[in-house]
């Protein structure tokens, strides 16, 4: 787009703007007119004064109250103002001061009276939230940081006199408390660490009221609870801390570092510390029950004391949730036979509610109770007990020693307002060499038990097998028993039958014997007769020949009956006596010679 075309299209707008500017300059220069917009103020600076006694500002002053040359206290409100000639007045337009919610304005005045000695912040004076600078200066407003603040909103503030800085509003979350430290006020009395509670200052939001009422600078005993507060951070700093919580199964013993000097309420029986009433300095005799409390942790300390049973472990690397035993370790002892061994111990204690303040008054903390009393008491007891026996006896008498330890430790802790509930011996770690011996012995004993068990199992198995076999053969036994019965009946029947048959055979045999006897007798008579007859014949033959010849005849007859050849078909020849008796006998028989009865010569007998 060319310049010519631009001027053709927007020339009328340029002319209009120039006309407005000329008009304003005309009004300002020739008519002394100033136009202030609706969201602005006009800060006036008077350049010079020709006549009058208030021509110049007093020494040290910055803002003019009586028409002196310089910055004027009064500002121009939105609208049209006349008589402010450009050659005498310069007007600066400034926007309204706007403070959003969630913020406050802290103010510093450039003019005013000096602050009083010892004050850190200028006192508060009425000035309509610093919107009326003249009123501020007329009422004795002091220069410097102001103790008053500006709450959220929109304000017409002369920024030539007041410098406003925006800071966040103080927020205290739920379950938190604000710990206040003031920077202005009277000095703390000697020996005090915190200022006492002062009424009437709306929880430190009215700082001037706090100082007027005698509030002290420094740490404050009073705390502020959850909420939103308009507190000047130049007057007080607030540290947010969690509320003090006393869990269930605990009480809180309060140790107060502020308050009036306490008077001991325990009497002469308790000689280990003073217990005082609530609000006094010292250990409060009444503990806090479970709950949440708005307590300043810098002025009051709350020691938690468990009212439930507390388990403490003398075992390296083992600790309960309360961490009171995190520094305790396994106890090392030496037996009478010179062996060193380790044992773990657990001690259960209980601190009654009403005795909790006494424990804290005596020891300060529960941790001190453990390290100063429990640790040496229990450790020394078991070291002494171990030296009265050897390792084996200590191991075997563990139950008895545990009971003895309970009674002894319970008696020792009663003096300290602590109840010893139980003492438990945990792991015992004897010397490795001795442990191996015991292990081998135990293994041997267990093996014996195993062997006996196996033996009983085998006997049981044998009985089972026998019973099973008997059960399996029971049917056959019944069958056998029935068979025996049947056989007995059959045998009896057979006996009866045999008896009958025997009687029958006896009768028959007797009859046959009678017959045989009769026949035998007849045959015998017959044989006898025949034999007698034959004998007579033989006798006659014998008588007719020699007995030797008769015998030869009989032999020959016998050979003939059996078809045996008396003379061989081939007779081996040769001289001498081959043929022997047979040849001789045959020769004599053939010759019919009869030998006499004389003895046979020896050469013939061969």
Question: For 24-40, b where at least 16 C-beta lie within 10 A, e where not — what string?
Answer: eeebbeeebbbbbeeeb
CB atoms within 10 A of CB 470: 10
Secondary element (H or E) of residue 57: none
Would you state the torsion angle of the CA atoms of residues 224, 230, 234, 239, taken in this order, to the nearest 10 degrees? 30
Query: How far is residue 90's CA from residue 43's CA, in Å, rounded to a whole number?
Result: 8
**Is 341 within a domain?**
yes
Domain count of the fold of the chain? 5
| Whether the predicted pLDDT of 570 surpasses 90 | no
- Kindly state whether residues 159 and 300 are assigned to the same domain: no
Angle at which helix 375-386 crosses helix 398-414, to 10 degrees, equals 140
| Whether the predicted pLDDT of 509 surpasses 90 | no
Query: How far is residue 356's CA from residue 376's CA, in Å, rounded to a whole number?
Result: 21
When the pLDDT of each residue in the chain is averaged and rounded to a whole number, the result is: 83
- Kindly state whether residues 252 and 349 are assigned to the same domain: yes
- Kindly state whether residues 423 and 306 are assigned to the same domain: yes
Query: How far is residue 507's CA from residue 528's CA, in Å, rounded to a whole number?
Result: 31
CA atoms within 13 Å, Cβ hemisphere of 281: 12
Contact at 8 Å (CB) between 324 and 367?
yes
pLDDT tens per residue, range 4-59? 666 566 666 766 666 656 556 555 555 678 889 999 999 999 988 876 666 788 88
| Selected residue with higher pLDDT from 304 and 335 | 304
Residue 74 Cα to chain centre, angstroms: 77
Lowest mean pLDDT among 77-91, 224-238, 403-417, 430-444: 430-444
Query: How far is residue 168's CA from residue 204's CA, in Å, rounded to a whole number?
Result: 16
pLDDT at residue 429, rounded to an integer: 81
Contact at 8 Å (CB) between 333 and 343?
yes
Label each residue of 240-292 as H, E or C.
EEECEEECCCEEEEEEECCCEECCCCCCCCCCCCCEECCCEEEEECCCECCEE
**Is 6 within a domain?**
no
**Is 539 within a domain?**
no
**Is 16 within a domain?**
no
**Is 477 within a domain?**
yes
pLDDT confidence band for 514 (50 / 70 / 90): confident
pLDDT tens per residue, range 366-392? 999 999 999 999 999 999 988 888 888
- Max avg pLDDT among 225-234, 274-283, 510-519: 225-234
Instruction: Give ∠ CA 187-188-193 in degrees, rounded to 5.
Output: 145
pLDDT at residue 593, rounded to an integer: 43
- Kindly state whether residues 62 and 115 are assigned to the same domain: yes
The full DSSP string for 583-600 is: HHHHHHHHHT----SSPP
Which residue from 292, 207, 218 is spatially nearest to 258, judged by alpha carbons? 218
CA distances from 384 to 295, 375, 404, 601 (A): 46, 14, 12, 133
Secondary element (H or E) of residue 224: strand 218-224
Lowest mean pLDDT among 43-47, 164-168, 438-442, 504-508: 504-508
Please tell me whether residue 321 adopts helix, strand or coil conformation. Answer: coil
**Is 437 within a domain?**
no
pLDDT at residue 34, rounded to an integer: 87
Residue 421: partners with Cβ closer than 8 Å, 6 or more residues away: 309, 348, 349, 350
Lowest mean pLDDT among 394-408, 416-430, 451-465, 481-495: 481-495
pLDDT confidence band for 487 (50 / 70 / 90): confident
Residue numbers of the domain that contains 457: 443-529
- Kindly state whether residues 308 and 407 are assigned to the same domain: yes
Q: What percent of the chain has pLDDT over 90?
A: 47
- Kindly state whether residues 36 and 159 are assigned to the same domain: yes
Question: Domain end: 383, 406, 430, which one?
Answer: 430
| Selected residue with higher pLDDT from 35 and 291 | 291
- Kindly state whether residues 312 and 418 are assigned to the same domain: yes
CA atoms within 13 Å, Cβ hemisphere of 136: 31
At 202, list the tokens.
Answer: 């709306």
CB atoms within 10 A of CB 525: 10
| Whether the predicted pLDDT of 453 surpasses 50 | yes
pLDDT tens per residue, range 108-164? 999 999 998 889 999 999 999 999 999 999 999 999 999 999 999 999 999 999 999
Helix, strand, coil percentages for the chain (3-state, nearest 5) = 40, 25, 35
pLDDT at residue 284, rounded to an integer: 95
Contact at 8 Å (CB) between 212 and 260?
no
- Kindly state whether residues 375 and 319 are assigned to the same domain: yes
End-to-end CA distance of the chain: 191
| Selected residue with higher pLDDT from 263 and 198 | 198
pLDDT at residue 419, rounded to an integer: 93
At 387, list the tokens.
Answer: 């030296």
Query: How far is residue 372's CA from residue 469's CA, in Å, rounded to a whole number?
Result: 76
- Kindly state whether residues 282 and 393 are assigned to the same domain: yes
Which residue from 115, 114, 117, 143 is spatially nearest to 130, judged by alpha carbons? 143
- Kindly state whether residues 162 and 173 are assigned to the same domain: no
Please tell me whether residue 21 adopts helix, strand or coil conformation. Answer: helix
CB atoms within 10 A of CB 447: 10
**Is 22 within a domain?**
no
pLDDT at residue 574, rounded to an integer: 45
**Is 193 within a domain?**
yes
Residue 374: partners with Cβ closer than 8 Å, 6 or more residues away: 312, 347, 349, 413
**What mean pLDDT do residues 237-243 have?**
97
- Kindly state whether residues 336 and 400 are assigned to the same domain: yes
Angle at which helix 580-591 crosses helix 547-561, to 10 degrees, equals 110
Residue 401 Cα to chain centre, angstroms: 28
| Whether the predicted pLDDT of 560 surpasses 90 | no
Q: Is 236 left (phi over 0), alpha (psi -120 to 50) or beta?
A: beta
Contact at 8 Å (CB) between 428 and 394?
yes
pLDDT tens per residue, range 584-602? 555 555 554 444 444 545 5
Query: How far is residue 561's CA from residue 157's CA, in Å, rounded to a whole number?
Result: 190
Contact at 8 Å (CB) between 455 and 388?
no
pLDDT at residue 595, rounded to an integer: 44
**What mean pLDDT do residues 208-225 have?**
96
Question: Domain end: 468, 503, 529, which one?
Answer: 529
The full DSSP string for 162-180 is: EEEEEEEPEEE-TTEEEEE
- Kindly state whether residues 161 and 148 are assigned to the same domain: yes
Contact at 8 Å (CB) between 319 and 313?
yes
Question: Domain end: 137, 167, 197, which one?
Answer: 167
């Amino acid at each position: 787009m060319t310049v010519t075309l631009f001027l053709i299209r927007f020339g009328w707008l340029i002319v209009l703007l120039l006309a407005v500017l000329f008009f304003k300059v005309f009004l300002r220069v020739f008519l002394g007119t100033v136009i202030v917009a609706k969201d602005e103020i006009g800060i006036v600076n008077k350049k010079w004064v020709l006549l009058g006694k208030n021509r110049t500002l007093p020494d040290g002053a910055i803002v003019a109250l009586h028409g002196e040359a310089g910055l004027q206290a009064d500002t121009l409100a939105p609208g049209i103002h006349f008589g402010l000639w450009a050659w005498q007045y310069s007007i600066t337009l400034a926007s309204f001061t706007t403070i959003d919610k969630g913020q406050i304005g802290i103010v510093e005045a450039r003019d005013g009276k000096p602050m009083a000695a010892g004050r850190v912040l200028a006192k508060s004076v009425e000035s309509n939230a610093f919107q009326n600078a003249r009123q501020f200066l007329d009422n004795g407003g002091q220069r410097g940081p102001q103790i008053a603040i500006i709450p959220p909103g929109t304000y017409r503030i002369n920024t030539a006199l007041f410098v406003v800085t925006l800071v966040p509003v103080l927020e205290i979350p739920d379950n938190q408390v604000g710990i206040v430290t003031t920077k202005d006020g009277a000095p703390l009395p000697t020996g005090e660490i915190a200022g006492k509670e002062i009424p009437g200052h709306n929880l430190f939001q009215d700082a001037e009221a706090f100082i007027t009422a005698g509030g002290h600078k420094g740490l404050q005993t009073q705390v502020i609870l959850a909420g939103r507060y308009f507190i000047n951070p130049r007057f007080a700093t607030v540290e947010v801390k969690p509320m003090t919580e006393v869990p269930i199964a605990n009480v809180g013993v309060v140790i107060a570092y502020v308050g009036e000097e306490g008077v001991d309420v325990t009497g002469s029986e308790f000689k280990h510390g003073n217990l005082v009433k609530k609000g006094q300095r010292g250990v409060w005799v009444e503990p806090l029950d479970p709950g949440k409390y708005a307590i300043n942790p810098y002025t009051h300390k709350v020691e938690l004391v468990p009212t439930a049973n507390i388990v403490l472990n003398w075992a390296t690397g083992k600790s309960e949730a309360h961490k009171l035993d995190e520094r305790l370790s396994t106890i090392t002892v030496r037996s009478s036979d010179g062996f060193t061994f380790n044992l773990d111990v657990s001690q259960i204690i209980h601190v009654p509610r009403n005795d909790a303040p006494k424990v804290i008054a005596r020891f300060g903390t529960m941790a001190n109770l453990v390290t100063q009393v429990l640790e040496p008491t229990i450790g020394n007891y078991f070291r002494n007990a171990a030296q009265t026996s050897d390792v084996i006896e200590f191991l075997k008498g563990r139950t008895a020693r545990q009971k003895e330890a309970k009674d002894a430790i319970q008696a020792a802790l009663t003096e300290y307002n602590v109840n010893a509930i139980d003492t438990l011996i945990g792991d015992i770690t004897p010397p490795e060499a001795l442990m191996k011996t015991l292990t081998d012995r135990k293994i041997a004993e267990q093996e014996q038990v195993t062997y006996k068990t196996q033996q009983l199992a085998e006997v049981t198995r044998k009985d089972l097998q026998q019973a099973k076999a008997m059960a399996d053969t029971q049917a056959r036994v019944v069958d056998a028993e029935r068979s025996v019965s049947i056989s007995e009946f059959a045998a009896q029947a057979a006996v009866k039958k045999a008896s009958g048959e025997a009687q029958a055979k006896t009768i028959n045999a007797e009859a046959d014997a009678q017959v045989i006897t009769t026949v035998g007798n007849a045959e015998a008579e017959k044989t006898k007769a025949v034999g007698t007859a034959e004998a007579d014949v033989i006798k006659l033959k014998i008588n007719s020949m020699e007995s030797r010849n008769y015998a030869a005849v009989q032999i020959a007859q016998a050979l003939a009956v059996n078809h045996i050849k008396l003379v061989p078909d081939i007779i081996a020849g040769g001289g001498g006596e081959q043929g022997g008796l047979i040849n001789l006998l045959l020769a004599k028989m053939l010759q019919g010679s009869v030998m006499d009865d004389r003895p046979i010569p020896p050469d013939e007998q061969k």
